[in-house]
Structure 1
Amino acid sequence: MRPEPGQVLHFSEDPTIERFVPHVAVTSALTEPYVWAVGHDRCPDYWFPRACPRAIAWVGARTTDEDRARIIGRGCGDRVHAIEYCWLKALMDVKLYAYRLPADDFAPVGDPPHAMVSKVPVEPLGPPEPVSDLFELHEQAGIQLRVLPNLWAFWHEVIESTVEFSGIRLRNARR
Structure 2
Amino acid sequence: MHPPKPRLFHISEQPGISIFAPRPSPSNFDNITADVVFAISDQLLHNYLLPRDCPRVTFYTGPYTTATDKQKFIGNTTASHIVAVESGWYQQIKKTTLYCYEFMPDDFMLIDECAGYYVSYKPALPIAVTVIDDIMATLLSRDIELRFMPSLTEIADAVRNSSLQFSLIRMRNAKG
TM-score (norm 2): 0.88
Question: Which ranges in structure 2 are unaligned for 5 or more consecutive residues?
Answer: none
8 Å CA contact retained: 2:60, 2:81: yes
Partner of 1:159: 160
Write out aligned runs for 1:86-165 (5 A). 86-110=88-112, 112=114, 114-126=116-128, 128-165=129-166
Letter in structure 2 aligned against 1:22? P
Distance 1:75 1:106 in 2: 33
Q: State the SS of the aligned residue for 2:57.
A: strand
The size of the alignment, in residue pairs, is: 169
Letter in structure 1 aligned against 2:28? A
Write out aligned runs for 1:1-175 (5 A). 7-25=7-25, 27-30=26-29, 32-110=34-112, 112=114, 114-126=116-128, 128-175=129-176
1:132 Cα deviation from its structure 2 partner: 4.8
Q: State the SS of the aligned residue for 1:80.
A: strand
Question: Which ranges in structure 1 are unaligned for 5 or more consecutive residues?
Answer: none
Distance 2:17 2:89 in 1: 25
Distance 2:6 2:79 in 1: 28
Q: State the SS of the aligned residue for 1:104.
A: coil
Query: Residues 82-106 of structure 1: CA distance to partner in whole angstroms, max 9, x if unpaired?
Result: 1111111111111001111111111
Query: Residues 76 and 7 from structure 1, CA distance in 2 versus in 1: closer, same or farther, beyond 3 angstroms?
Result: closer
Distance 1:47 1:63 in 2: 25
Letter in structure 2 aligned against 1:121? P
Query: Residues 56-83 of structure 1: CA distance to partner in whole angstroms, max 9, x if unpaired?
Result: 0101111122211111122342321111
Structure 1 runs of 4+ off > 4 angstroms? none
8 Å CA contact retained: 1:6, 1:102: no
Letter in structure 2 aligned against 1:167? L
What CA RMSD, in Å, does the superposition of the two structures yield over aligned residues?
1.8
